[in-house]
Structure formats: C-alpha cells, structure tokens
Chains A and B, each alone.
Chain A
Amino acid sequence: SWRSSLGPPCERPGERRGAEMKKLYGKDAPKIIAMETAMQLTFDRNCDLKKPKYWPVIPLKL
C-alpha cells in the first residue's frame, strides 16, 4: 500500500508520532510536522484522485 506507515491505528498514531518528532527535531518539531502534514496531504489527495499504478509493476530492486 502507498499509505504512509504511521503505525497501527489502534496506537493513536498522531500522539506517538508527535513524541517521536519532538525527540528528533526538538523545538522545530511543530514546523517540520506542519510541512510534512501538508506534503502528505497532497500526496494522499493526488493518489485518491488520479489512482496511479506502480511502475514497474514488480520492483526493480528487491
């Protein structure tokens, strides 16, 4: 699936990701999260809209 791997839904991924991001990016975490959220939203929306298929069908590099 092309959906981003944010973890199983039962784990409250938003919260877990927030803590992870804070550890990685410190005080800049909110800025990076905002940029990433916008980018992922565009990606998800484009995929929903355009229904792209993988090329090639089988990965070149296994």
Chain B
Amino acid sequence: SIPTSAASEADPEQLQQEQHARSVLRESFLRCLLSMNSKKVQFHMHEKVKLEATFGASDIDVLNFQVSDLHTPIGVQKEALIRCQDVISFTFDV
C-alpha cells in the first residue's frame, strides 16, 4: 500500500491536497492504461530484451500486464503475462 506523508497526517489541509493530487494523477494513469486496449505496444525489458505485443489489460497494482501475440526472441506466444518488474519502459502510438 502507499504511505501518506508524515506531514499530511498532522495537517488536514495538506492531507486533502495530497489526496486530490493523488486522485488526479491516478485517474489520468488509469485512463492511459485503458486507452492501450488492443494497441500494439513495444516493451523494453531488463537485460536488453525488446518485445512487441498487443496490449490486453493491467492489474490495478501494476504488477502484471496481460498481452496477446507476444513476439519474443524465440517465437510468438499467443497469450502471455508480463511481470512489470521485468519492464523498464513501454511505448505505443495514439
């Protein structure tokens, strides 16, 4: 879970500001993940591995991505889960 800052615990006004900032950021991120549905995504993984896949969905804890047609160095895997810990970054076009 996400820690709230010590300052916010003491100051209700700052707590509200922090909650508002967190909501705005999270909503925007969730919309970004939702917009990726069925899009071609390029993943840059640790150990210099690059993958392309069709994005399916993410779990809400951002631990796993569910993808289809994953192009791996050793062939195509029809349905796959990618561990977010293995990923450095990913790219898609809008």
A interface list, Cβ under 8 A from B: 2, 4-5, 20, 23-29, 31-32, 35-36, 39-40, 42-43, 46-47, 50-56, 59-61
- Number of B residues near A (Cβ < 8 Å) is 40
Q: Is the interface of B mostly helix, strand, loop or mixed?
A: mixed
Q: Are B59 and A40 in contact (CB under 8 A)?
A: yes
Q: Is the interface of A mostly helix, strand, loop or mixed?
A: helix
- When C-beta atoms are compared, the residue in chain A nearest to B88 turns out to be A61
Selected from A27, A35, A51, A61, the residue in CB contact (under 8 A) with B27 is: A35
A51, chain B: closest CB distance, angstroms: 6
B44, chain A: closest CB distance, angstroms: 11
Q: Are B23 and A25 in contact (CB under 8 A)?
A: yes
